[in-house]
Chains A and B, each alone.
Chain A
Amino acid sequence: MKFGILIQDGPYNHEAADSAYNFIQAALERGHSIQGIFFYNDGVINATKLMDPPKDDRNISKRWSELGAKGIDIIVCVAAAKRRGINESVLIPNARISGLGQLTEIAIESDRLITFGSS
């Protein structure tokens, strides 16, 4: 199955970014594909490379970047990012900033769009 992923909450404060990551890993292990990961609302904060947690904790933005390196399309909403101080200069490698049209395309192309962190 082709999954699209929408992440609407930031890292660490809540579990959404971790749940999404775990979901994606499980889906890939079972042979499913990920059409794209779209960050919206506070979710855009997942994509800053300035993240520098203590060594014994997971680095959430690095994990996204690693998924991007595997060829998964990682898209950060430009309007939501601008509000929150995320631009190209702080963006993690293997991600891109684009518009909500990309979320529309992910929704259309995926068999299922799974959302994380809207409540």
Chain B
Amino acid sequence: MPETIPSNLFLLFVFLFFFVFLISFFTVLILILRKEKKFNRETILLPISPSFKESAEAMLKNELEKSTKEVREIIKTSFFQLISNYQRETEKISETVSVLALDFKNTLKQRTNEIFEALKVELKKSLPEIEQQNRQISQAILEEARERITHSEKEIEMIFQEVKKEFLEKKAEIEKMLENYKQEKIKEIDEKIFQILADVSKKVLGKAIDLSTHEELVFSALKKAKEENFFKA
């Protein structure tokens, strides 16, 4: 609104200025024409002396200047009056706006305070409910956390049991493998010992046995074979 007022006033001012200018122009024209008619009606065509003509022209010029001056004064006065009016109106509007702004500010402050108060009241009213909800949510979170912990504990226990079982199985398997390996090695060692003993005995005995002993051994073998019915069909 404060922006539209100057533009309207400016238009008004231009219009007034134009209007005053037109009035002044027509006034001067009427005055000239009236004088000329008066002269035409009352005077007889007389020869005009140059001095008279000069004085008449000077008078006319003087009058014209006078009229122009008056019009200027009128315009100036109107302009100042218009500006003065505009300033007054502006001041009035400004005052009104200030009053309104102050009023609006006060109203806003009051309204804000009211809203705050209402909010406070509402908050106070809702506080127990919110607290209750908070407690419920906390309780629910706590319950869920407990359930999850319990579930996790069970899962950990299951994993632990599985790992333990697997470990024990692997341990038993390794122990069995070790036992087998041990037995195998013992067997190998026994066989080696046996082989060594056999080889040593063979060498020692082989060298120690003479021909007659060999013969005795052969005959005793043949006798044994006969006893065992080896030669019977």
Q: Do A and B bind each other?
A: no
